[in-house]
């Protein structure tokens, strides 16, 4: 297969009519080029949408309390209730494979009034009572100082980590922030750190206008007792939160004396399900890209096959001579198959190179004009290149098969007689 | 060397069948130089094609150097052709994008002879036909006589048991024809068995035996006094 003579032979044949060879390979190269571009464009969209999710732990659900809608155990419908700290423990005890359960209480919120005062400046911000692990579920970058830690929780320290947005509104530029105090609804908290969240467009601004304080200190300062307003629950990798959420909700219903059929008492949002929906869209996009790309490639392959047939026709006499001199039929077949494969692979490689250069160019342009909505870093992975390569080898075989068959179908005596 | 018994061959032409060879009995000893003569349609080319395993016989038997030639598949036929037979054609049939040496080396390639040895052998045979200096020339750069000499070198390169020549001088003028015949006689002098199909009496007379075919049967088979071609060549 790798004998030098055979390769010489292939090169001789292909270089004997350069223009025809080029024209033929263009079809295949074009097909691969389109395939690569389509896949890269799909990848670019995928990257863009993924970037919108940021680093948020996607295997996460959020859960909050609403009003009951069914009377239960002597309690009326329309009752408001609140999760309790013991519910967190109950979930932990009853539902396996959970990585984080972060209870949270909250002040302020969308459209809320001014609730934070520093000297003469005031602002309306979200104030969260949180546990340290929330930073793993809702990633943010600490730009100075530190985030809240376990000691803060245990000692109920009145400390706060504030967003860059809060800092800009309440502080002058180049003012020392760490160690200063903010008054949140009449209670003083010491600022120990600042953070910045990766801005995902839309609520990017809002995300910087938050204060994080220890959950325990928050409960004490604002008289929340054992109440929990909201929970962020992340499942361990390999376990989908979507499968666990029903169990979690049931545990809470049981603890809070809510009718098992009451679907509206506990509100939740399953991020993983949303994420999966988008994931399956990516999958569909990839299939469309492959489908269209392979079809375009197919027309190139038919071109190669066609030209090979003509070449065989032209070389009928030569093939007759070779067979008279004792070349075995399979050897001729192999020769023609290899010519077809060689032609497809080389032209496919050229297509891959052009495709990759094109993508590189697009990336350069994207970098220079700044971020574009929903489209980030279009690229093809090595895996795609390898699968394109496999498709090419297969196509080459396909393209060469019929011509090779027709080349040996003719008996040598007839082949020799053709002029 | 060659043993043919009761050979029949017919071709189907639409609904008719054309009986070309009607019972040929024929044998050739080692070292013979045989001319097969006959007018066109006499079946001489068909006979040569069957001898050359390019065509199959319908009836009868064919033994080549003690090996019965029957029921060959294409791969086996190709192998036998390569081992036993050398072909020389009227139209030379050189591969036009290969130079003289590569053409001569081709049968050796099918014998899986190594590259270097192949080239050495090819040069040796080109030297024998007096074309060593033309080794790197393409067929299009050679004259008709030279092409046929390259073709003879190619046929000899595989060291076949029998050399089959189909009108080897048919496309050549008489001077070059004699040169080619001189070469064939010299090869025959070395003990090689050669069969030549021709319709030219002067060429036939340069062989050692003439077999006359007419309408698919042998009408005459005689040994003759060979006329040396060398006397016509300067």
Q: Does B89 sit within 8 Å of A330, measured CB to CB?
A: no
SS (H, E, C) B185-220: HHHHHCCCEEEEEECCHHHHCCCCEEEEEECCEEEE
Q: Does B111 sit within 8 Å of A328, measured CB to CB?
A: no
* Domains detected in chain B: 2-94+161-232 (3.40.50.300)
pLDDT (tens digit, 9 = 90+) per residue, A138-150? 878 888 899 999 9
Contact B77, B53 (CB under 8 A): yes
The pLDDT assigned to A261 comes to 87
| Closest CA–CA distance from residue B223 to any residue of chain A (Å) | 30
A325 vs B80, B110, B115: nearest CB? B110
First to last CA, chain A: 31
Chain B residues with beta carbon closer than 8 angstroms to that of A16: 97
Q: Is the dihedral of CA A222, A224, A230, A233 positive or negative?
A: positive
Q: Model confidence at A203, in pLDDT bands (50, 70, 90)?
A: low
Determine how many CB atoms are found less than 10 A away from the CB of residue A350. Answer: 17
pLDDT at A108 over 80: no
Q: Across residues A365-375, what is the average pLDDT?
A: 77
B106 vs A320, A325, A329: nearest CB? A325
Chain B residue at shortest CA distance from A318: B95
pLDDT (tens digit, 9 = 90+) per residue, B97-123? 889 999 999 999 888 888 899 999 999
Strand spans (E) along B55-104: 59-64, 67-68, 85-88
Least confident of A47-56, A216-225, B80-89: A47-56
B87 vs A324, A408, A411: nearest CB? A324
pLDDT (tens digit, 9 = 90+) per residue, B7-43? 999 988 888 888 889 999 989 999 999 999 988 888 8
Q: Across residues A119-137, what is the average pLDDT?
A: 88
Average pLDDT of chain A? 85
Q: Model confidence at A204, in pLDDT bands (50, 70, 90)?
A: low
CA nearest to B157, candidates B206, B222, B110, B221: B110
Which of A16, A318, A321, A324 would best serve as a mutation to test chain B binding (most B beta carbons within 10 A)? A324
| Closest CA–CA distance from residue B195 to any residue of chain A (Å) | 16
Chain A residue at shortest CA distance from B48: A413
pLDDT at A295 over 90: no
Q: Model confidence at B138, in pLDDT bands (50, 70, 90)?
A: very high
User: Pairing state of beta strands B59-64 and B67-68?
Assistant: antiparallel
Domain ranges of chain A: 4-54+277-417, 60-272
Q: What token pair was written down for B129?
A: 């036909």
A128 vs A372: which has the higher pLDDT: A128
Q: Model confidence at A224, in pLDDT bands (50, 70, 90)?
A: confident
pLDDT at A202 over 60: no
Q: Model confidence at B141, in pLDDT bands (50, 70, 90)?
A: very high
B4 vs A107: which has the higher pLDDT: B4
Q: Does B83 sit within 8 Å of A5, measured CB to CB?
A: no
Residue B117: its H or E element: helix B115-128
Among residues of chain B, what percentage have pLDDT more than 90? 51
A321 vs B52, B82, B95: nearest CB? B95
pLDDT at A200 over 60: no
Chain B residue at shortest CA distance from A329: B75
Q: Which long-range contacts (CB under 8 A, 24 or more apart) does A379-388 make?
A: A379/A40, A379/A43, A379/A44, A379/A47, A380/A36, A380/A39, A380/A40, A380/A43, A380/A355, A380/A356, A381/A43, A384/A36, A384/A39, A385/A36, A385/A352, A388/A32, A388/A35, A388/A36, A388/A348, A388/A352
- CA A29 to chain centroid: 29
DSSP per-residue letters across A298-350: HHHHHHHHHHHHHHHHHTHHHHHHHHHTT--HHHHHHHHHHHHHHHHHHHHHH
The pLDDT assigned to B101 comes to 93
Q: Model confidence at A112, in pLDDT bands (50, 70, 90)?
A: low
Q: Model confidence at A190, in pLDDT bands (50, 70, 90)?
A: very high
Q: Does B81 sit within 8 Å of A325, measured CB to CB?
A: yes
B91 vs A204: which has the higher pLDDT: B91
A292 vs A52: which has the higher pLDDT: A292
Sorted by sequence, the CB contacts under 8 Å of residue A314 that are 6+ apart come out as none
The pLDDT assigned to A272 comes to 86
The pLDDT assigned to B207 comes to 93
Per-residue burial over A146-161, b if 16 or more Cβ lie within 10 Å, else e, is ebbeeebbeeebbbbb
pLDDT at A165 over 90: no
Average pLDDT of chain B? 90
Chain B residues with beta carbon closer than 8 angstroms to that of A327: 78, 82, 110
Q: Does A331 sit within 8 Å of B110, measured CB to CB?
A: yes
The CA distance from A301 to A104, in Å, is 61
Q: Is A109 left (phi over 0), alpha (psi -120 to 50) or beta?
A: left
The pLDDT assigned to A366 comes to 84
pLDDT at A419 over 70: no
Contact B194, B162 (CB under 8 A): yes
Helical pair A316-324 and A329-369, crossing angle rounded to 10 deg: 130
| Closest CA–CA distance from residue B106 to any residue of chain A (Å) | 8
Q: Model confidence at A199, in pLDDT bands (50, 70, 90)?
A: low
pLDDT at B202 over 70: yes
Q: Does B83 sit within 8 Å of A326, measured CB to CB?
A: yes
Least confident of A49-63, A198-212, A252-266, A400-414: A198-212
Q: Does B93 sit within 8 Å of A324, measured CB to CB?
A: yes
Q: Does A4 sit within 8 Å of B54, measured CB to CB?
A: no
Q: Across residues A396-414, what is the average pLDDT?
A: 84
Chain B residue at shortest CA distance from A333: B75
Which positions in chain A have a beta carbon within 8 angstroms of at least one beta carbon in chain B? 4-5, 12-13, 16, 317-318, 320-331, 408, 411-413, 416
The pLDDT assigned to A27 comes to 85
pLDDT at A372 over 80: no
Chain B residues with beta carbon closer than 8 angstroms to that of A325: 81-82, 87, 106-107, 110, 154, 158
């Amino acid at each position: 297969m790798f004998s030098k003579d055979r390769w010489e032979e292939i090169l001789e044949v292909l270089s004997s009519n350069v223009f025809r060879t080029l024209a033929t390979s263009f079809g295949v190269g074009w097909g691969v080029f389109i395939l690569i571009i389509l896949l890269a464009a799909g990848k670019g969209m995928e990257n863009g949408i993924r970037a919108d999710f940021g680093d948020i732990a996607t295997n996460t659900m959020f859960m909050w309390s609403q009003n009951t809608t069914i009377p239960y155990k002597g309690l009326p419908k329309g009752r408001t209730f609140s999760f309790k700290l013991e519910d967190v423990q109950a979930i932990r005890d009853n539902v396996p494979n959970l990585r984080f359960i972060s209870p949270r209480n909250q002040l302020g919120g969308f459209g809320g009034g001014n609730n934070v005062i520093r000297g003469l400046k005031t602002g309306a911000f979200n104030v969260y009572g949180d546990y340290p692990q929330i930073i793993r579920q809702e990633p943010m970058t600490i730009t100075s100082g530190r985030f809240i830690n376990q000691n803060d929780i245990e000692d109920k320290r009145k400390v706060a980590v504030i967003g860059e947005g809060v800092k800009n509104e309440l502080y002058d530029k180049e003012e020392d922030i760490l160690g200063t105090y903010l008054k949140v609804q009449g209670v003083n908290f010491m600022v120990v750190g600042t953070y910045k969240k990766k801005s995902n467009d839309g609520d990017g601004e809002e995300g910087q206008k938050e204060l994080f304080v220890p959950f325990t200190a928050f409960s004490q300062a604002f008289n929340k007792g054992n109440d929990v307003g909201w929970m962020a629950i992340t499942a361990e990798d390999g376990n989908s939160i979507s499968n666990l959420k029903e169990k979690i909700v049931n545990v809470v219903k049981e603890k809070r004396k809510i009718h098992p059929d009451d679907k509206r008492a506990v509100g939740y949002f399953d991020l993983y399900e949303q994420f999966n929906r988008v994931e399956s869209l990516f999958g569909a996009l990839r299939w469309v890209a492959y489908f269209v790309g392979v079809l375009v490639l197919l027309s190139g392959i038919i071109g190669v096959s066609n030209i090979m047939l003509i070449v065989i026709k032209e070389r009928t006499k030569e093939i007759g001579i070779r067979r008279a001199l004792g070349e075995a039929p399979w050897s001729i077949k192999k020769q023609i198959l290899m010519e077809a494969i060689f032609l497809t692979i080389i032209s496919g490689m050229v297509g891959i190179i052009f495709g990759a250069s094109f993508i590189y160019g697009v990336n350069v342009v994207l970098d220079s004009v700044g971020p574009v909505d929903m489209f980030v870093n279009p690229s093809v992975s090595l895996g795609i290149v390898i699968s394109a390569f496999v498709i090419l080898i297969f196509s080459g075989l396909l393209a060469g098969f019929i011509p090779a068959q027709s080349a040996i179908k003719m008996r040598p005596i007839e082949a020799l007689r053709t002029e | 060397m060659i043993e043919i018994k009761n050979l029949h061959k017919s071709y189907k032409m639409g609904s008719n069948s054309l009986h070309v060879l009607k019972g040929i009995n024929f044998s050739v000893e080692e070292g013979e130089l045989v001319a097969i003569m006959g007018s066109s349609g006499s079946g001489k080319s068909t006979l040569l094609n069957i001898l050359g395993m390019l065509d199959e016989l319908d009836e009868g038997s064919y033994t080549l150097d003690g090996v019965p030639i029957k029921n060959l598949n294409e791969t086996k036929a190709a192998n036998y052709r390569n081992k036993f037979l050398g072909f020389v054609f009227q139209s030379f049939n050189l591969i036009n994008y290969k130079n003289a040496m590569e053409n001569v080396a081709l049968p050796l390639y099918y014998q899986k002879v190594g590259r270097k040895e192949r080239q050495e052998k090819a040069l040796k045979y080109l030297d024998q036909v007096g074309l060593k200096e033309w080794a790197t020339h393409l067929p299009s750069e050679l004259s008709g006589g030279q092409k046929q000499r390259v073709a003879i070198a190619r046929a000899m390169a595989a060291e076949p048991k029998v050399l089959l020549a189909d009108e080897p001088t048919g496309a050549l003028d008489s001077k070059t024809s004699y040169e080619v015949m001189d070469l064939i006689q010299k090869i025959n002098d070395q003990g090689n068995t050669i069969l030549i199909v021709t319709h030219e009496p002067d060429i036939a007379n340069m062989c050692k035996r003439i077999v006359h075919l007419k309408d698919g049967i042998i009408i005459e088979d005689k040994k003759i006094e060979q006329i040396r071609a060398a006397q016509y060549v300067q």
